[in-house]
Amino acid sequence: MKPQIRTVILFFLTAVFAVSAFMLVRQMTSYRAGDEAYAEASEIAAIPEVAEVETVQQPTEQPQQETQTEPEPAPSADPYAQALEQMDLPALQQVNSDVIGWIAIPGTEISYPLVQGTDNDYYLTHTWNKNSSAVGAIFMDCRCSADFSGFNTIVYGHRMNNGSMFAALKHYKKQDFLQAHPQVYVTNASGAHAYRIYAAYEAALDGTAYYSAFSDETIKKTFIDEGISLSVIRTGAVPTVNDHILTLSTCTGNGHATRWVVQAVME
């Protein structure tokens, strides 16, 4: 091989290595910044551990009394909902008024503040506290009602390679993962809400999964039927047109033509 050719090849390989190293460092820096931002959010929210909630609620022995007293209202039987209800939402909103709540899937990495901006672009590249980062935020579609009162509430999040944000949604291709993690919890100013997952599938960008307005019950029924028919998991649950649906959306990892969605119905 001629010395000139060898020099060109060596230069090319060095350039490729330098660019690859730069991209890797930039990605790791972005991940680290995202981890720090969401660790800060968890600290501010101060959501108690489920075990702590259950411990607080253990009944204590009361001495026998001759006179009957009015029983106190029983607390919610769902410890995850109780934990979210105890979070410090106002403290998060002091940092960013776009924060509308918190979203969590117990047993997964998904436990993040939920924000809503004036468009569906800003939080693709900004964390919950508005720091610029490729990690982005978990955010509600700007067309949806922040109080989850709409028929279909859409929430977006990146599928990060380090398993953060909405990366865990990809595991809902497996029935056993669904059985281990069947619910999504969200909270806002009105309290905590549990949703039961009923469908997971690859959706077209212009498909019914991304409908936010429904003019009649026929369109709602089409939305429900399409989700169930496309789903790769089976639960037996069939929402009604009077229910409230939560659609979680992330990348498929197979290009930009479709998205991976997980849908759940409010219990």
Task: Name all domains of the chain by residue range, CATH numbers in brackets.
Answer: 3-48+77-266 (2.40.260.10)
pLDDT score for 35: 87
pLDDT score for 169: 98
pLDDT score for 49: 84
Round to whole Å and give the CA distance between 214 and 257.
24
- Give the tokens for residue 141: 């579609």
Digits of tens for pLDDT over the chain (267 positions)?
666 666 655 666 565 555 445 444 455 556 677 889 999 999 999 999 876 544 334 443 444 444 444 444 444 578 989 999 999 999 999 999 999 999 999 999 999 999 999 999 999 999 999 999 999 999 999 999 999 999 999 999 999 999 999 999 999 999 999 999 999 999 999 999 999 999 999 999 999 999 999 999 999 999 999 999 999 999 999 999 999 999 999 999 887 789 999 999 999
pLDDT score for 101: 97
Give the C-alpha distances (Å, rounded to integers) separating 238 from 10, 112, 138, 179, 245. 61, 28, 26, 17, 11
pTM listed for this prediction: 0.82
Q: Which long-range contacts (CB under 8 A, 24 or more apart) does 157-160 make?
A: 157/112, 157/248, 157/249, 157/250, 158/124, 158/134, 158/250, 158/251, 159/250, 159/251, 159/252, 159/253, 159/260, 160/31, 160/34, 160/135
pLDDT score for 15: 53
Closest CA to 194 of 239, 230, 246, 153: 246
